Amino acid sequence: MINKWSKLLPILLAVILVLAGCGSKDKQGAANSAGSGDTKPDKEVTLTFWHHYSTASPEEKTLKEVLIPKFEEENPGIKVKPVAFTWEDLHKKLQISGSAGELPDVARLDIIWVPEFQKSGLLQQLDAFEDFAEVSGGLLEGPLSTAKVGDHYYGLPLNTNTKVLFWNKEMLTQSGVEQAPETTEQFFEALGKIKSKYEKSWGFGEPALQGWNILPWIWSNGGDVLSPDFTTADGYLNSPATVDIITKLKTAFAAGQISGFKPGDVAVTEGHASGSYAMMAEGPWAVAQFQSQFPDFDVEMASFPKGSTGSIQVLGGEDIGIFSKDKQEESWKFVKFMVSEAAQVEMGKIGQIPVNLASMENADVKAIDYYPPFLEQLKTAKARPPVSAWPQIDGVINDAMSKIFMTDADVKTELDAAASAINALLKD
């Protein structure tokens, strides 16, 4: 017996040692999979994120100091390198980089750029990700639609906005206008009264003449830029309704009642606070600017003046899209994070109207007292035409309006020429 056990003992000890070793490995593996965050990932990936949050703005500060650190903490092994551009420079940079093959992994996009970059084959299709439906289902439907081209989605909404009428109560009251004009007819009447009272000021400040600025007037007056199927501008941009409202705006400009878009003009938002412009149409970012730069200015807001078809402002906002072909999973994680409730609340607290449904119920977001006028205006806000040629069309509109307002050019003649130029772009 003793001889038998003496022969078996070394074998049993060997088995016990093997089992003990396996057990310790299993425990260590479980500890690693549970993840304390201290273990180093197999590889580290850096995502480049191009955006046009204004440099040194509350938005960029929140992005760099709150959101990106939180994302990197939650996703060990993924770093995010943000690169800031101006709105115009970002658009040009993406166009140039697309040709050179030097694109970012992820970018914040104006909603009007999505069809253009989708047509160029630069944006990745996001509804190909398995959890796309779950993620997109938690976002506002209207802003989400701006990222859809054809039957697929090439982005997710990042924030939304529109413009409302800001009015200087003291200037209007002193001019004999007791409240913000509710209709375009009341608006033009108010311009004349304000000019009579404030000879060196203007009734309305308009910073530019692009679609973002002109379309609300056209839409509210029953006009449009393109047909409902987006195939022609003829009969729409040069329609009687469009000619009518542009003529009225030109007349007001000639009378010194509207200004702000010429080189050297007083900046509109600053000018509104300082008494240069009695009224302006701007977004929620203007309120944040007033609060930081003009804390003593009493901000008054109202709906955009109604025309024959109502008070129709332009739907604004940004989408977030993926350009990367080799870091798609990591990029998708970052996109999902940026539209998550936590990230949207942080941006919502500093003036970016959220698109995440849950974040809109957050106490900190609901406590922002200047959101209601914009949320009301969003109910009738309209998106610019989702065509890939829109940036070029926007340029045609700007050129036509500049000629109409700053020369003695005939309104109908210029709109006819612009409609022809736009139709040529639609055929390309």
Angstrom distances, CA of residue 153 to CA of 113, 115, 371, 385, 409: 13, 10, 28, 16, 42
Tens digit of each residue's pLDDT (9 = 90 or more) over 333-354: 999 999 999 999 999 998 899 9
Three-state DSSP class for 279? Answer: strand
Query: Above pLDDT 90, what percent of the chain?
Result: 84
Question: Residue 76's CB: how many other CB atoms inside 10 A?
Answer: 14
Q: Is the pLDDT of residue 76 over 90?
A: yes
Band (168; pLDDT cuts 50, 70, 90)? very high
Q: Among 2-11, 88-97, 136-145, 319-328, which stretch is predicted with the lowest mean pLDDT?
A: 2-11
Contact 168, 271 (CB under 8 A): no
All structural domains of the chain: 46-160+317-378 (3.40.190.10), 164-314+389-427 (3.40.190.10)
What pLDDT is recorded for position 292? 85
How far apart are the two ends of the chain, measured CA to CA in Å? 96
Collect contacts of 183-188 with beta carbons under 8 A, ≥24 apart. 183/305, 183/306, 183/307, 184/217, 184/220, 184/221, 184/245, 184/248, 184/305, 184/306, 184/307, 186/305, 187/279, 187/305, 188/248, 188/252
Q: What digits encode the pLDDT tens for the residues 137-156?
A: 999 998 999 999 999 999 99
Residue 214 contacts residue 393 (beta carbons within 8 Å): no
pLDDT of residue 40: 60
Mean pLDDT, rounded, for 81-108:
94
- The pLDDT value given to residue 3: 44
What gap in Å lies between CA 268 and CA 375, rounded to an integer?
23
Percent helix / strand / coil, the chain, rounded to 5: 50, 15, 35
The pLDDT score that the predictor gives to residue 46 is: 98
Contacts of 14 (CB under 8 A, 6+ apart): none
Cα dihedral 274, 276, 278, 282 in deg (nearest 10): -80
Neighbour tally for 213: CB within 10 Å: 19
User: Has residue 13 got a pLDDT over 90?
Assistant: no
Assigned token pair, 361: 């119920």
Residue-level length of the chain: 428
Instruction: Please give the average per-residue pLDDT across 184-196, as a whole number.
Output: 98
